[in-house]
Structure 1
Amino acid sequence: MLLSQSAIAAKSDLQQPTGGTTPLTIERLYASPALAGSSPRGLKLSPDGQRVTYLAGRSEDQHLYDLWQMNVATGEQAILLNADQLKSDELSDEEKARRERQRIYGQGIMEYFWSDDSQALLIPASGALYYYAVATQKVELLPTGEGFTTDAKLSPKGNFVSFVREQNLYVLNLKTKTLTALTHDGGGAIKNGMAEFVAQEEMDRMTGYWWAPDESSIAFTRIDESGVEQVTRNEIYADGIKLTEQRYPYAGKNNVTIELGVVNISDQAVKWVDIGQEKDIYLPRVKWLPDSKQLSFQWQSRDQQTLDLRIADLRSNDSPQIVIKEQSQAWVNLNNDLYFLKKQPQLIWASERDGFNHLYLFDLQGRLIKQLTKGDWAVDEVAYIDEKAGWVYFTGRKASIIEKHLFRVPIKGGKIEQISQRSGMHAPVFADNQAIYLDYFNSLAQPPQISLHSSEGKHLAWVEQNKVDKTHPLHPFFGLWQLPEFGQIKAEDGQALQYRLFKPTAFDATKKYPVVVRVYGGPHAQLVVNSWSEHDYFTQYLLQQGFVVFQLDNRGSAHRGTKFEHVIYKRLGEAEVNDQKAGVDYLRSLDYVDGDNIAIYGHSYGGYMALMSLFKAPTHFKAAISGAPVSDWSLYDTHYTERYLSHPESNAKGYEASSVLPYVKGYQSGLLMYHGMADDNVLFENSTRVYKALQDEGKLFQMIDYPGSKHSMRGEKVRTHLYRSLADFLERQLKH
């Protein structure tokens, strides 16, 4: 029996927003100018700490980005490069797919890279590469030859530009303008210097090559996709159907085979690194040591229960040494927190070996020197390492599970100091060679702000204060903005579940209100946070229409440790649904909740959760909205699916129990599904299988499919139609 009546309310120091009382409309939610105001992206500090650079959308078109700069010494801000100066041709299919994996959306300048000496910028645009010299303030189109370039990089010392074209790796000497192909066998199933599908989508590895610090060579992956099942995927557009041939590694099927090589820049000779006899593995990370003579790589078993850090000495033919081994009875989460110190033969490594993600100091032989952080809270990531002053800066949940703050700890170990203070989410960006940082801050009551700080946290300057004053796009509506109540209830195993509850505008405790439960529910995500999100715009609209909106982070979600996460191993959609049911039990204990009119709404894993909840718990949920859901995990990729469900051959019952399809018979009424018909992440077939199963059972439901839309349902017109449809559905289901 869930202890739903013993909810613990959490206090918040957020101040109620003030402003105009104009009601929100669906049409205004994603129109320009953006409700969040000026919210630059692509924040960087030049390595010398003298300039702040960022991408800013135009007021007339928030999705068209120019490159801006701020002088740190004077605070003066000016446009650095207008996107109109660059080529604006159509992107290649490869680059479109890569940007979808990176969650990069927009036009104009979308990426840029500083040289290590802070004297130049590399800017990719529409398959071409531009070089901006700070001294001359001139932009130059680089001679990269025919074809579309992707994954471009400046070499560490700024002498070369590298890129991938037609599945081969190239370098351009910036002094001589000589272009050299470093690999030659790319094409068809062979890809050099490119990250495979699951590396991009599931491992947060968007590249397949890495420069040595001294520019002498490049480490790169060579992947062979010939063993991966080739499928013909239909992308359905309004004016036709595009047939896309894609090698997609379905759960239980073959992955790519991968090799790791090091190519010498001067003579293009390649040395292959011994990654072991087992070929059915993953290489999620590759990183050079500071001496440019040793190369590290992370070796992950197919079942993801073992993760090795291995170091190869390229001066010898010896096999790489296993320096650190992480193991789990469920799975080992990946992270990006491996740092080799330059002044000492030591490394900093993040691990969940004690149940929470924490930082550890090792020597290069893998001997533990010191655990730097510990406790029943999680480190998010390392932000900066200041070897000279002896500090490791990191973000984490030490102060609050619903907030992310910046902390620091001595490299040698010692007391942890909290740097950031304001309640909310802090995402610091440090300069490479200066201990100053940009703080990308936001909270439920404050759209994103960007400020410059000293290493001790002292506020130095605003880059974008984004104050919601009378000139701000949000101000006319901000007086009706509602902040949630935070609290927690208990799961069936006694673990605490965090929730946030939004009451309707003009709340009257004597009335009873219908509820919309907004859910994600999957791993590596957290909804119950003190954070600004454009996804909450629709929540605010619903509050103004007289709905309560409730969110609960069920077991399996992020930042709560392995015990909280691993509950879902080998059986998805069970503990998560039970926890959402516990949330409904709590809601029904509230006098102002209409317990017979509760709907659940989610997208992606949230769409899966909406289906599972409605089908398995129809007495708890009257209606559901399911967007782009996974319906059968055999249709999803190897790395994600097998991490949580293991291999289909060893867990056939788990796959069946985790599928939506066996529970279709439990459906009664009140379902709306939607899906992008060109979705290359959660394939459209996931929804069509549910459509057919419901139709075969004679069940009535509604569906809306969007021609040409991908998984994220981008575009103002698409989103406006979508949210108008969802609002209409909720009004009909819960109020009539």
Structure 2
Amino acid sequence: MTGQPASVPFPRQHARTQRFTLGAPRGYTVSPDGGRVVFLRSGSGTDRTQRLWVLDVAEGREFTAADPLALLSGAEEELSATERARRERTRDGSAGIVGYAVDAAVEVAAFALSGRLFIAELRAGTARELPATGTVVDPRPSPDGRYVAYVADGALRVVPADGGDGADSDGGGDRALAIPDGPEVTWGLAEFIAAEEMGRHRGFWWSPESDRLLVARVDTAPVRRWWIADPAHPDRKPAEVAYPAAGTPNAEVTAAFLGLDGSRTDVAWDRERFPYLTRVHWSAAGPPLLLVQSRDQRTQRYLAVDPETGATRTVREETDPVWNELVPGVPAWTPDGRLVRIADTPESADGAEPGARRLFAGDRALTAAPLHVRAVLDIGEDDILFAASGPEMHDIGVHRVRHRGDGLAVPERVGARPYPTVTSAVRGGEVVVLSQACLERPGARVEVVRLGADGAEETVAAIGSYAQEPVLTARPRLVLAGEREIPCAVLLPDGYTEGDGPLPVLLDPYGGPHGQRVVAAHHAHLTSQWFANQGFAVVVADGRGTPGRSPAWEKAVSRRVAEVALQDQVDALQALAERFPLDLTRVAIRGWSFGGYLAGLAALRRPDVFHAAVVGAPVTDLRLYDTHYQERYLGHPDEEPSVYAANSLLTDEGLSGAREPHRPMMIIHGLADDNVVVAHSLRLSSALLAAGRPHEVLPLSGVTHMTPQEQVAENLLLLQVDFLKRSLGLRDAD
């Protein structure tokens, strides 16, 4: 990591470095022979432009394979509306090469810049433009490296990778394999809820033989239209968004095999019962796999597809009385053709066996509690590499387990350290790229490790980071609070001593599904530490509903999101007050997205505990959020309207469950947010005004859900501190 003058204020540094992500390597791919590691990295801790890099493992040498500044001749990058939406779904505020795809040998990489198509030769470190039609999105080379498929103007197209006319390659040069057959139809793109909620960000997959593709067709005609305007620019037309709000129609998603010879074979499955196409896997180990879900997500099927006929057969069906959780990396096949999946197993009737999220190969369970499996990272000839948290939920490790044989499977941790870490990994052959963060040092350390068959590990290279080092050091104390042992991080001001007396408290949670905050990673606690240094005792609590502990912990919020999430914040606060210097007469809470919803709940429903709230981009009217997320936790609003009323900040009658006294609230929302639209905050403000409740509203013109703008990100922190001190009656300690 690079240094940073201590005179730079943290809010400015935090904003300029995009939360210290700029300059840090990311997006790794390892060649099958382990000889090359491909990755993205910008040129410094404040440089937004990501470049494509290659590490020669044998030589330990890094070199640039593609530089956007050179390829665009210094011109500014121009993003299409489709590309902007893709980056918003992945919360990527950087620029340049933000994503790439490679062939099977990791010899070539394809990527888009300013809607143009480029390819890089990874051994040579050279890059060139390929001819393409329209504005290019999500280019992907065929496994044999001879072609590149891409989406342009809703069509799925393919072009020879050599840039020629392709006369020797099944039908010519750049050509469309499928074009939209309606104004709302696209081929090869993920629909909104697939990208936002399911973790599926792509819409086409090459066959292992490179002769055809499996392609998703999306028709958004049934989806209701919303209009997102920028009031600061009344001369501009509002943006049209197909948004499937809870209880309303989804996009119609189908799939077809498209051959390079021009053939098309539609895939058939029971879409009436299983409308959600959540996962697709296609490898040489077996036929294409689809994971499809019912709308209520309580039933899902693993389907094997015949590429010749499009017929599907059910490999396995799973049901869960609450919901089936989608996990990265599955489904897939082992090399010998067994289904790899991750499934929740319930607690045994006698309580002897706890419930667990377990890894399976075929019918054989490869893991058990207390390991909580979070993702499959790679499947080898003999073993599976996976990520999991253990008894200490903040410790997230990489493990491998042998999938062959009938005996007891014993997972082994890869890259084990004598202290907790947050570790991720990418593997190619015997080489693994390990990225490890911890509490003891800033940032993440990235090492290239060779794994031996006997479990031995040899570090053979490292990948450097250009990220800046923060001007402050986070010092969280990770503890368990209360009878439910709620994971918490407590942060006190630098230099605090017991003689300084109790401190005003700031709860700083996310507190909901898919958002674990209490982790053993230094940078995860930086903003909380900065707030602590402004004179607060900051508490971050991961209550029920947050990931990493157990299926029962996550699913406890079903139909009771507001009640459960809020109660765990209160219980954690009160339990921690017995161990830390917390002044319970001055308690505030801040949050964004689900955290903003939780902050609003706290101020309205528990004013006996909370005295001020910063409510950022909150979901207030639960019927205005999307189908796949909202119906998972609350059911269908037409079937369970009382559940939506009980959990919303708003109901038709006004504020839901609001109590006296009135507590000050600062409501913040980006006007360009297409995920949690600003209508949520406007409706909350209207209801507060009608009820005579004072509040502040901070509208952010041109800002989306991820607030990437530097000045906005910096000043938001400063304005929140000012509001919190005013609201709690604190003197300015600066």
Query: Kindly tell me: are residues 384 and 505 of structure 1, through their superposed partners in 2, closer, same or farther at Cα, counting changes over 3 Å?
Result: same
- What 5-or-longer segments of structure 2 have no aligned partner? 166-172, 347-354
Alignment deviations for residues 499-518 of structure 1 (CA, whole Å, 9 cap, x no partner) = 11112211121311111100
Q: Give how far 1:279 is off.
A: 6.0
| Residue aligned with 2:719, SS | helix
TM-score by length of 1: 0.89
**Using the alignment, how far apart are the partners of 2:369 and 2:18 within structure 1?**
44
* Maintained 8 Å contact 1:519/1:606: yes
- Find out whether 1:520 has 2:510 as its counterpart: yes
Q: Which moved more, 1:324-333 or 1:50-59?
A: 50-59
Residue 584 of structure 1: how far off its partner (Å): 2.1
Residue among 617, 635, 654 paired with 2:624: 635
Taking a change above 3 Å as real, the CA distance of residues 698 and 104 of structure 1, as seen in their structure-2 partners, is: same
Deviations 1:371-420 (A, max 9, x none): 11111331111222220xx2212111136311111111111252221222
Query: SS state of the match for residue 440, structure 1?
Result: strand
Contact kept in structure 1, 2:434 and 2:446, CA below 8 Å: yes
1:133 deviates by 2.3
Superposition deviation, residue 29 in structure 1: 2.9
Moved more, 550-559 or 24-33: 24-33
Alpha-carbon deviation of 1:459? 4.5
Q: After superposition, give the CA deviation of every residue in 1:166-218 in whole Å (9 maximum; x if it has no partner).
A: 11111112244401211133441222222111111111111111111111211
Q: Partner of 1:163 in structure 2? A: 150
Residue aligned with 2:111, SS: strand
Percent of matched pairs sharing the same residue = 27
Q: Which whole-Å deviations, capped at 9, do the CAs of 1:407-460 have from their partners, x for residues lacking one?
A: 11111252221222223434443343x211111111223211211112246352
Indicate yes or no: 2:82 matched with 1:94.
Answer: yes
After TM superposition, the structure 1 stretch with the greater mean CA deviation from structure 2, 91-100 or 188-197, is 188-197
Q: Secondary structure in 2 aligned to 1:666?
A: coil
Structure 2 residue 687 is the aligned partner of structure 1 residue 697: no
Letter aligned with residue 154 of structure 2 = Q
Deviation, 1:138, is 3.3
The whole-number CA distance in structure 1 between the counterparts of 2:259 and 2:449 is 41
Q: Does 1:371 align with 2:365?
A: yes
- Residues 1:712 and 1:135: Cα distance change in structure 2 (over 3 Å): closer
Q: What's 2:397 paired with? A: 405
Aligned to 2:168: none
**Counterpart pick for 1:290 among 260, 263, 284:** 284
Question: 1:461 Cα shift?
Answer: 4.1
Q: For residues 221-252 of structure 1, what are the alpha-carbon distances to aligned partners after superposition, in whole Å with 9 as ceiling and x for unaligned?
A: 22222111122222444675540112211100
Amino acid at match of 2:669: H
Q: TM-score, normalised by structure 2?
A: 0.90
Mapping for residues 66-215 of structure 1, pairs under 5 Å: 66-87=51-72, 88-134=76-122, 136-145=124-133, 147-175=134-162, 176-177=164-165, 178-215=173-210
Q: Match of 2:586, as an amino acid?
A: N
| Aligned counterpart, 2:482 | 490
Shift of 1:336: 3.0
Q: Which amino acid aligns with 1:652?
A: P
Cα offset, 1:526, TM superposition:
0.9
Instruction: Give distance in 2, aligned partners of 1:659 and 1:563.
Output: 23
Confirm or deny: 8 A CA contact 1:399 1:405 kept in the other structure.
no
Q: Which amino acid aligns with 2:53?
A: W
Deviation at 1:23, TM superposition (A): 8.7
1:46 aligned to 31, 52, 67, which one?
A: 31
Cα pair distance change 1:160/1:236, threshold 3 Å: farther
Q: Within 2, Cα distance between the matches of 1:84 and 1:21?
A: 31
Pairing 1:667-682 to 2, within 5 Å after superposition: 668-682=662-676
Cα offsets for 1:632-690 (capped at 9, x unmatched): 11000111100100101221100001110233742612211101110000000000001
Structure 1 residues 34, 626: CA separation in 2 closer, same or farther (over 3 Å shift)? closer
CA contact (8 A) 2:303 2:312 kept: yes
* 2:450 maps to 1:454: yes
Is the Cα contact below 8 Å between 2:449 and 2:458 reproduced in 1? yes
What does residue 216 of structure 1 align with?
A: 211
Q: State the Cα RMSD in Å.
A: 2.5
| CA shift digits 1:20-69 (9 cap, x unpaired) | 98695433332359757842222232333222232222237331222222
2:711 is paired with a residue of what secondary structure?
Answer: helix
2:590 aligned residue? 601
1:257 aligned to 2:252?
yes
Residues 1:51 and 1:343: Cα distance change in structure 2 (over 3 Å): closer
Instruction: Name the CA distance, whole Å, in 2 between partners of 1:516 and 1:232.
Output: 36
Residue aligning to 1:14: none
Q: Structure 2 vs 1, CA of residues 165 and 619 (structure 1 numbering), >3 Å: closer, same or farther?
A: same
Q: What is the DSSP-based 3-state SS (H/G/I as helix, E as strand, rest coil) of the residue aligned with 2:642?
A: helix
Report Cα offsets for 1:601-620 as digits up to 9, x if no partner.
11000000000011110011
Show structure 1 runs of 5+ residues with no match: 1-17, 363-367
Q: Which residue of 1 aligns with 2:338?
A: 346
Change in CA separation of 1:227 and 1:339 when aligned onto 2, cut-off 3 Å:
closer
The 2-side partners of 1:26 and 1:102 are apart by 23
Tell me: CA distance 1:308–1:689, structure 2 relative to 1, closer, same or farther (3 Å).
Answer: same
Which residue type is aligned with residue 225 of structure 2? Q
**Alpha-carbon separation, structure 1, partners of 2:679 and 2:468:** 40
**Cα pair distance change 1:339/1:648, threshold 3 Å:** closer
Cα distance in 2 between the residues matched to 1:342 and 1:644: 32
Q: Which moved more, 1:229-238 or 1:684-693?
A: 229-238
> Which residue of structure 2 lines up, in the alignment, with residue 12 of structure 1?
none
Q: CA separation in 1, counterparts of 2:84 and 2:669?
A: 19
Structure-1 residue corresponding to 2:356: 356
Residues 511-550 of structure 1: pairs in structure 2 closer than 5 A? 511-533=501-523, 536-550=525-539
Change (3 A) 1:683 1:393: same
